[in-house]
Amino acid sequence: MYFYCRHLTDKFPDLILYTEMLKLMQNVLVPFSFYRAIVISDVWVGNNAV
C-alpha cells in the first residue's frame, strides 16, 4: 500500500479522500435506492407478464 500511495499519486491526481467518499456515498444512497427499486420492480412485472 505504501508503494501505491507514494509512487502512483502522480498517475491518479484526482483521487478523493476516504472521508470525502463517505460524504458522496451518503448523498447518492437514497436516490440510487429508489432507482434500483424501480428497475427491479419493472423486471418482476415484465417476467410476470410473459
DSSP state at residue 14:
T
* C-alpha radius of gyration, the chain, whole number: 19
The pTM assigned to this predicted structure is 0.43
Spatial CB neighbours of 9, under 8 Å, sequence gap ≥ 6: 15
**All three cell numbers of 42:** 419493472
Neighbour-count burial of 32, counting CB atoms closer than 10 A to its CB (0-12 exposed, 13-18 middle, 19+ buried): exposed
Flag whether pLDDT at 4 surpasses 60.
yes
Q: Where are the domains of the chain?
A: 15-49
Flag whether pLDDT at 47 surpasses 60.
no
Question: What confidence category does residue 15 fall into, taking pLDDT thresholds of 50, 70 and 90?
Answer: confident
Flag whether pLDDT at 50 surpasses 80.
no
